[in-house]
Structure 1
């Protein structure tokens, strides 16, 4: 929201200072008005994913058993993997801890608030090796 706010300030400043002879400035300001909020959202989502990784690592270190957390994540994933009722529809996908119908791609991963379960488990396995002194 701060980036959007700054973009608006810049846009209004440029428009107020122009004498309407330079239409290019207006086009640039409109592009900024569209692209900067999207960039801000992507940063916010990236921070959310980083927090999830940090929460996993903190939990693994606190308990001294990151593989227990990995096991819980696997159970959640498998429980959500194949719902057999009407809750498998897109409208209900946001209510699942792990989206049962999501397709993963690099682009779709940018818009997720949580990293994939596989990535989280992989990091927990590395933490387990580190805690056991195997690294």
Structure 2
């Protein structure tokens, strides 16, 4: 500026140049996970940049990843609380009890049908109703 020469500040920043980052080195699974975290608002762009050292082009790159890897439908499941876990265990126990009762009921039904079949054959009895108009 004084001698008619204008020098740019960037001309004197050789030691401060940012090393280039190859964004293709990141695995697809990492990209999908990061996009899901940002989409679910569990992490901001800046937090992702700081945590994973994404460089100055991070916004453009993450936006490209979002276009490629974002789901149209965002499903977010919250972690279950302790009470919900115990409720699930109680429900699973109840389901097993009901399955046992169902199995016993099925066995009883087969036994009763077998007894009716034997009685109808051996004693020539009509125990079951006939279906249709001829009753």
TM-score under structure 1 length normalisation: 0.33
Between Structure 1 and Structure 2, whose CA radius of gyration is higher?
Answer: 2
TM-score under structure 2 length normalisation: 0.33
Higher RCO structure, 1 or 2 (CA under 8 Å, sep 6+): 1
